[in-house]
Amino acid sequence: MRAAPETMSSRRYLSADTMAIHETAIHDLSIVPLRRIPDERGTILHMLRSDDSHFRTFGEIYFSTVYEGVVKGWHQHDDMTLNYACVTGRIKLVVYDERGESPTQGALVERFLGPDDYSLAVIPPGLWVGFKGISAPDALVANCATHTHDPARTRRLDPHNNHIPYEWATQHR
């Protein structure tokens, strides 16, 4: 007698809350490992559920493509928490803490998101954020933000000519 194959209904659901949420060198910036469910039909990529402990509220969701070698950043939001996941391709995500009241003011976090690290970056308001496409031909980033985008509540800097202590060039370590 053959054993019945494991099905979605027979699996215990593993939410992001049952996985470890990784704190970072920046206060309130979190990295949440996300679940992938592959089978012969394709793959389900989880991102964010309303019952996750790190979910705040829904404002809007949008998708951004970034071509290999291109930097999108820097930008800083007054009120909006960003929830980034790289669903195809790879990006180098960089976050800089310039908040005057932050215990980690001056800290910088670099993280490579994509198939090797399918995670949700939960980025609170007030941090400088940018990302660089590092896969050909592009990468696709999903953002489930807590507010609708308001250009009046957002600041932008040139990615290469600014005061942030970061160089976007490839690092040969």
pLDDT in tens, the chain (173 residues): 443 333 333 333 334 444 678 889 999 999 999 999 999 999 999 999 999 999 999 999 999 999 999 999 999 999 999 999 999 999 999 999 999 999 999 999 999 999 999 999 999 999 999 999 999 999 999 999 999 999 999 999 999 999 999 999 998 88
The CATH number fitting domain 14-156, selected from 2.60.120.10, 2.60.120.650, 3.40.718.10, 2.40.50.140: 2.60.120.10
Q: What is the DSSP letter of 18?
A: G
Cis, bond preceding 74 (omega within 30 deg of 0): yes
Distances (CA, A) of 131 to 28, 30, 37, 68, 165: 19, 16, 26, 11, 15
Judge whether 37 and 44 are in contact, CB under 8 Å: yes
Q: Which two tokens stand for residue 122?
A: 């939960």
pLDDT of residue 92: 98
Query: Domain limits of the chain?
Result: 14-156
Instruction: Give the CA angle between residues 104, 33, 16 to the nearest 5°.
Output: 105
- Taking phi over 0 as left and psi of -120 to 50 as alpha, with beta for the rest, 154 belongs to beta
**What does the alpha-carbon distance between residue 7 and residue 118 come to, in Å, rounded to a whole number?**
23
pLDDT of residue 19: 60
Place of tokens 């950043």: 73
pLDDT of residue 4: 35
φ/ψ of 143, rounded to 5, equals -130, 120
- Report the candidate in 84, 80, 85 with the shortest Cα–Cα distance to residue 147: 80
pLDDT of residue 21: 82
